[in-house]
Amino acid sequence: MNIRVVIVDDEPLARLAVKVRLAQRDGFALVGEFGDGDSACEGIVALKPDLVFVDVEMPGKSGLDMLAALPPTQRPMAILLTAYEGFALQAFELAALDYLLKPVDDERFDEALDRAQQAFPYRCQSRAAAPAAMVTAATPALRSFSVRVGSRTVLVPVADVERIEADGDYASLHANGKTWLVRERLHTLATQLDPRQFHRVHRSSIVRLDMITELCALTNRDAMLRLRDGSVLRASRSYMPALTEALQHLNTKTDS
């Protein structure tokens, strides 16, 4: 099932730029667009999108005011579009997934969509009316990695992987004390892994959720993660809302 998207921006060219990039990604469906905050509020309540791209500064009701006016149960995942970094704190207070600085580059846009796909299953499960099929449909089916070792091809089970780190145009798998080089970019792998088990925590790293033993918040809203094997990774603040929600869900599942 596709993630239903609404775009809110008073600039037609800005809306077009998002639409063009969105059309290049599978798993997303544009269901509406609005040029001001007031009409967006009404449209979001009616359309019930899963994700909204919203411009922070618009005539009349701002993007942040528009999100704040929506009841939390009706507030979709949000990716903010802004020319200023100063809105970051307010963005995270509203549980926005990310904020993109204009002009937005392709890599950052793709990262924001990755984050939406990671968070989507948890948002579905948090809504009483969401069928379990929605969660299953959003989950990639990757079971193992094919790794070339000399003339041999080795299959590394996804269940054995503890973390994945960027290595130039490739990625390094860390599994059972061994490191394997995969000829895929980290961005590509992030879209193939089950978001209920793995989360991207930085532009250069993906972590299996049950490997995290400690999360220490930093003053700049980043965090340091300590894993079971003693390794320490930095989690970027832009990944923290989705990561926190995933860990809370994991803990709830474990307790039950």
Q: What is the pLDDT of residues 59-70, one digit of tens each?
A: 888 998 999 899
The 3-state DSSP class for residue 163 equals strand
* pTM of the entire predicted model: 0.60
Confidence of residue 181 (pLDDT cuts 50, 70, 90): very high
pLDDT at 130 over 50: no
- Strand intervals (E) in 11-76: 28-34, 51-55
Amino acid identity, residue 103? Answer: P
| Long-range CB contact pairs, 105-110, < 8 A, 24+ | 106/21, 107/187, 109/21, 110/25, 110/187
In single-letter form, the type of residue at position 82 comes to T
Question: DSSP strand E in 102-222: where?
Answer: 144-149, 152-157, 161-167, 170-175, 178-182, 198-202, 205-208, 212-217
DSSP 88: H
Query: Do residues 60 and 37 touch, judged by C-beta distance below 8 A?
Result: yes
Alpha helices in 79-177 (DSSP H): 88-93, 106-126, 132-137
110-to-16, 29, 129, 137, 200 alpha-carbon distances in Å: 16, 15, 29, 20, 13
Tell me the H-state helices in 6-36: 12-23
pLDDT for 255 equals 57
Mean pLDDT in residue range 157-171: 92
**Among 124-128, 146-150, 167-171, 196-200, which is the least confidently predicted range?**
124-128
Residue from 254, 252, 212 nearest 239 by CA = 212
What structural domains and CATH numbers belong to the chain? Answer: 3-137 (3.40.50.2300), 144-255 (2.40.50.1020)
Contact predicate 236/166, CB 8 Å:
no
What is the per-residue pLDDT across 79-125, written as a single tens digit (0 to 9) for each?
Answer: 999 887 666 556 666 768 888 888 888 888 988 898 888 888 777 65
